[in-house]
Amino acid sequence: MKKGQIGIELGTKHLRICTKEKEQFLRIKNLIAIDHQGKIAATGNEAFLMYEKEPHEIQMIAPITNGVIGDYTNMRLLLSAIMQKYFRHFRKYTVNVASPVDITGVERRAFYDLIWESVRKLRDVRLIPKPILAAAGSGIDIYQPSGNMMIDFGAGTTEISVMSLGGIVKSRLLSYGGNQIDQWLVHRMKREYNMNIGRKSAERLKIQYSKNENEKSTVIKGRDLVSGLPAKKTVMISVAEEKVKDYIHEVTMEAKAILEIIPPELASDIMVHGIYLSGGGASFEKIGLWMEEELGIPVHAAKQPEDSVIRGLKMLMDEYK
């Protein structure tokens, strides 16, 4: 039987899968819809289309919470379904999984078990620290004897890590990310505009702001809390600003705290090379600038930062046999 390699990144928002053979990778919403009998109603991007529109008898589940497997049973159902759909040919796979560093032994073990139970014809499972992958995917030479700081802005987590010589020196997993900005926007629209909007609309508003933070308005759809009827309202996209800046500021302070406790030689390397950013939340146009102002250190956001980890996974896998 032919051998193959698969790389998997299990994000709060997206599941990304690459193989050694193919240049492109899969990017699927990490979401599963379960009907009242406990059967799968939809998975991935199809489930996302139903999200916030689903009838009562369908339960919508995002099985990854705070970067770890929060709902093991449903994560296994989802991953098995995806493997069935895309990887049915006859190969025996080694699966490389991107995993956060700052998690417990039990949480780490769950990643192994998940792969063993979801992938048929498995040869081996390898867990690779996500920050190392994000760094490789950002073009950093991870094996150099030089300190690097990587910050990954995910949907449910933000991970700050320092690495050197291909290993992790220090890593902190914060249990908040882009989702919290969306949630805050939902509340803000209620409070200030008497409008009930969905999380998807909130995210769209945030992304519009991220691309153009100048005073610009947009039309947002939702339900008027006074009349109870569907309504459209024109809002300034800058409503997102307060929370976005708060979030970035908080992360910057955490990064500063880490810079203060790592060995000084590494800290001075980082002062020179700067800090690297990855994850979808690193797409805010001025994120680098905001952080530089506070830290006085250069900050580089990757191009297409949400794909840094899977790019790195693909690069490292190409080195493996």
Contact footprint for Mg ion (CB under 5 A): 11, 154, 279
**Minimal distance in Å, beta carbon 27 to Mg ion?**
11
Instruction: Please identify which residue in 58, 127, 207, 315 interacts with ligand ADP, judged by CB under 6 A.
Output: 207
Separation of alpha carbons 208 and 259, rounded Å: 32
128 binds ligand ADP (CB under 6 A): no
- DSSP character string of 83-133: HHHH--SSEEEEEEEEE-SSS-HHHHHHHHHHHHHH-SSEEEEEEEEHHHH
- Name the phi and psi angles at 141, rounded to 5: -80, 95
Binding span for ligand ADP by CB under 6 A among 104-112, 119-127, 135-143, 281-289: 281-289
Which residues 59-118 are close enough to bind ligand ADP by CB under 6 A?
Answer: none
Q: What tokens appear for 61 in the block?
A: 């589940």
Tokens 């700081």 locate to 149
**Minimal distance in Å, beta carbon 15 to ligand ADP?**
8
Instruction: Please identify which residue in 63, 137, 156, 288 interacts with ligand ADP, judged by CB under 6 A.
Output: 156
**Minimal distance in Å, beta carbon 267 to ligand ADP?**
27
314 binds ligand ADP (CB under 6 A): no
Binding span for ligand ADP by CB under 6 A among 18-26, 49-57, 172-180, 222-230: 172-180
Separation of alpha carbons 119 and 96, rounded Å: 12
Element (H, E) at 258: helix 241-261
Element (H, E) at 41: strand 40-43
Residue 155 interaction partner, one of Mg ion, ligand ADP, none, beta carbon < 5-8 Å per kind: ligand ADP
Q: What tokens appear for 259 in the block?
A: 């810079």
44 binds ligand ADP (CB under 6 A): no
Compare residues 151 and 259 and give the one whose CB is closer to ligand ADP: 151
**Minimal distance in Å, beta carbon 263 to ligand ADP?**
29
Q: Is 221 helix (H, G, I), strand (E, B) or coil?
A: strand
**Minimal distance in Å, beta carbon 11 to Mg ion?**
4
Separation of alpha carbons 175 and 251, rounded Å: 11
Say if CB 203 and CB 189 are below 8 A apart: no
DSSP state of 58: -
Residue 156 interaction partner, one of Mg ion, ligand ADP, none, beta carbon < 5-8 Å per kind: ligand ADP
Binding span for ligand ADP by CB under 6 A among 12-20, 190-198, 247-255, 266-274: 12-20
Say if CB 120 and CB 83 are below 8 A apart: yes
Separation of alpha carbons 243 and 230, rounded Å: 26
The stretches of 144-227 forming alpha helices (DSSP H) are: 178-193, 199-211
201 binds ligand ADP (CB under 6 A): no
137 binds ligand ADP (CB under 6 A): no
**Minimal distance in Å, beta carbon 255 to Mg ion?**
17
Which residues 174-193 are close enough to bind ligand ADP by CB under 6 A?
Answer: 177-179
Q: How many helices (H) and strands (E) does the chain have?
A: 10, 18
Which residues 290-309 are close enough to bind ligand ADP by CB under 6 A?
Answer: 306
**Minimal distance in Å, beta carbon 283 to ligand ADP?**
3
Strands (E), 225-293: 230-236, 275-278
Compare residues 206 and 311 and give the one whose CB is closer to ligand ADP: 206
Residue 178 interaction partner, one of Mg ion, ligand ADP, none, beta carbon < 5-8 Å per kind: ligand ADP
Residue 122: CB atoms within 10 A of its CB come to: 16
Binding-site ranges for ligand ADP (CB under 6 A)? 11-14, 154-156, 177-179, 203, 206-207, 210, 279-281, 283-284, 306
